[in-house]
Copies of this chain bind each other. A is one copy, B any other.
Amino acid sequence: MITVAIEDGSLPPINKRKGRTLLIGVRLVNLQLNNVVCKSISIDGLDATDKAIEIVEKLLPLDVVLLDGISFAGFNIIDAERLWYETGRPVIIVTKKKPSKEDVLSALIKHFEDWKLRWGIIEKIMKISKGIHPVRIRMDKGKPIYIEVVGITIHSAKDILKRLTVWGRTPEPLRVAKIIARGLSSAYFKFRE
């Protein structure tokens, strides 16, 4: 099982909601880190989908793409359908907290003139995925994670996530991607000064 997990870097120290931050892709063969690719995306921009496609293409071959949510570097939405369509690889969107539709929509309306475009992607993915699905990694206890799927069934996605989770409820590729993205973010902003 070869997976690629995509994670963003943190926002700049002073949250001025502009500039760029990192978008990291990590490739794991089963549970073992195998490659890392690093790009930058614009905060609250619209280039995350293109950069995610570039990352996936650079990390081929692979079986499935895991995204840490759908919104990166603020509200730079990854269109998971286009990612799937252009790379041919199924996408599983994972969040630890169930996203609140209402909160996201009202934040978009408040901050973005093009909120309809961004909300359109979010709604489209929710429709393709037939909703946001809770998954319990350990059968009997603990909080669930929440997933959306594109190009794969919920059933297969659950199987994959259970196999890839060895620590808490975060699948290993996303855990590793998060550590690397966090470790590099502070350096990234410092190097750019």
Residue numbers of A with Cβ under 8 A of B are 22, 32-40, 167, 176, 179-180, 182-184, 186-188, 191-192
Contact = CB atoms under 8 A, between A and B. Distances in A.
10 contacts: A22-B187, A32-B167, A34-B179, A35-B179, A36-B180, A36-B182, A36-B183, A38-B184, A38-B187, A39-B187
**This chain: how many copies in the complex?**
2
Contact of A192 (B22, B167, B180, B191): B191
Contacts of A36: 179-180, 182-184
B191 A40 contact: yes
Contacts of A184: 36, 38, 184
Contacts of A32: 167
Given A184-B184, A191-B191, A192-B191, A179 B33 contact: yes
Q: Which residue, A34, A167, A184, has most C-beta atoms of chain B within 10 A?
A: A184
A34 B192 CA distance: 26
A105 B35 CA distance: 34
Contacts of A167: 32
B187 A40 contact: yes
Nearest to A22: B187
Contacts of A37: 183
Contacts of A35: 179, 183
Nearest to A32: B167
Contacts of A40: 187, 191
